[in-house]
Structure 1
């Protein structure tokens, strides 16, 4: 072996040793940025690395790629006492019996930011009762396929939740009110294509400051907004009229209204402007400009 080759090998070994000598917290943070399948393979590097991945603070499981057996095995070795974020994505019908177990596992690790992406599911999924009781949730993102129903049959207790995003849900006024009652310090609420909503009443959400709503002709709701405490509003891809009953604290608004006639847009807009006179920054989407051009 040449002297140059030996020198290169020594440099590589020194670099590997330098990385391996880093604290577990730093190594685990690094592993969060690579796919979980790759992160797990680092356990083969040496005895030092065998269990490092088992306590990574963020876990993302794409069950559209991973098998159910692989997900189960991964979670059986996962030992982090506290999980910063947990993302689960699946669309396979045969995985339905496993989903609740996977969610329960995330909750057992005191997950703070939970993301459930079932957007491509073609089968109904009922959110389990145990899901509605968590003191660890800080941020929650749920994506369901049109139109899975969310109807809490138990008391909702997400007392430390600050951000909530619901997409593709069939959600009645009563169901959303029940959810919001269990979120006393909620600050951000996003509703994307949530059907059956008619009157979005946020009067009891005293901490809520930011509201984002995305809707279209197939998902018209809500048609009335009662949100006296919000400071920021984004109303996107709205094709139907929406009445601002009370948005008296609003200081920032973005209105993206599309696919309507200029006359209808002007009438609807004038009614909206009457209710947002305290707004300091008002932005109109590109669709608004196209209509008037």
Structure 2
């Protein structure tokens, strides 16, 4: 395509575009907006759609390249062609958000490459969803375990085993959400050992946990636990520093060993299609 022959650094200044519109008597208020505003708008749509805006006009050709948030939520779009096209032209010096959903074995190289790129751009919020077709086939790359920029992290691994293969160091992480992960008490403790400033922890259908000991995390204030309705084994919670505790589907035997700083306690029970909501 002709656009591929243009230098990636060439941009059409907004002011020049405005003058051309005035000469032709056209009104295009959206295109006349500064790049930073257009890029903020593009953050709310999947990256594949954001890239297609480069076909609108010369004004839009490189707007998406500096978008601070990337989203590959449809697994079919996480392919090699899109990967190379996007990474070759992506020039944002700072990445705020990376949201990826991978569902095929051939998505793994692109998944790891995007994680590596995001970390090099000091990404702050990251969400990784690995669906059932990749069970037991994906290992978190070693370089991911050391990161100084991530503040919010979500893993959704659909019961794949999550066992850190090295020490974890996420020194800026404040919010961690683990969803549908196969985690032992020891594995979770290893993950949390590298999160000294953690403030919020969500455990969604991580039903292998038996003793949740959070006594060492002094800044942890919010704990959200969602259990399986099928009747998981009992779990003990030791969390003396949390202020807010949310238990959902918690019709399992649960022992609150130490929640001495608790200020808000929410229990949501689902029984026979009815909802019982308790707030203490």
Separation (CA, whole Å) in 1 of partners of 2:23 and 2:225:
55
CA distance 1:46–1:190, shift in 2 (3 Å): same
Unaligned 5+ segments in structure 1 are: 1-8, 261-284
Separation (CA, whole Å) in 2 of partners of 1:189 and 1:219:
22
Correspondence for 1:20 among 20, 28, 31: 31
The alignment status of 1:243 with 2:255, answered yes or no, reads yes
How far residue 258 of structure 1 moved from its aligned partner, in angstroms, is 4.2
How far residue 253 of structure 1 moved from its aligned partner, in angstroms, is 0.9
CA distance 1:253–1:95, shift in 2 (3 Å): same
Partner of 1:31: 42
Separation (CA, whole Å) in 2 of partners of 1:130 and 1:287:
44
Higher fraction of helix: 1
Correspondence for 1:199 among 192, 211, 221: 211
CA distance 1:226–1:11, shift in 2 (3 Å): farther
CA RMSD of aligned residues (A): 2.4
SS of corresponding position for 1:20? coil
Task: Report the count of equivalent residues.
Answer: 255
Is the contact between residue 145 and residue 170 of structure 2 (CA under 8 Å) also seen in structure 1? yes
Partner of 1:271: none
Partner of 1:112: 124
Is the contact between residue 228 and residue 247 of structure 1 (CA under 8 Å) also seen in structure 2? yes
How far residue 12 of structure 1 moved from its aligned partner, in angstroms, is 9.3
How far residue 176 of structure 1 moved from its aligned partner, in angstroms, is 1.1
The alignment status of 1:41 with 2:30, answered yes or no, reads no
CA distance 1:205–1:251, shift in 2 (3 Å): same
The normalised TM-score by structure 2 is 0.83
Correspondence for 1:135 among 148, 160, 163: 148
Is the contact between residue 162 and residue 182 of structure 2 (CA under 8 Å) also seen in structure 1? yes
The alignment status of 1:57 with 2:68, answered yes or no, reads yes
The normalised TM-score by structure 1 is 0.79
The alignment status of 1:287 with 2:276, answered yes or no, reads yes
Is the contact between residue 194 and residue 219 of structure 1 (CA under 8 Å) also seen in structure 2? no
Bigger radius of gyration, 1 or 2?
1
Partner of 2:192: 180
For residues 46-81 of structure 1, the C-alpha deviation after alignment (integer angstroms, 9 at most, x for no partner) is 333221101101110134231512133222321111
Correspondence for 2:104 among 60, 72, 92: 92
SS of corresponding position for 1:238? coil
Correspondence for 1:149 among 147, 161, 164: 161
SS of corresponding position for 2:27? helix
Partner of 1:281: none
Segments ≥4 residues shifted beyond 4 Å: 9-13
Separation (CA, whole Å) in 2 of partners of 1:57 and 1:132:
23
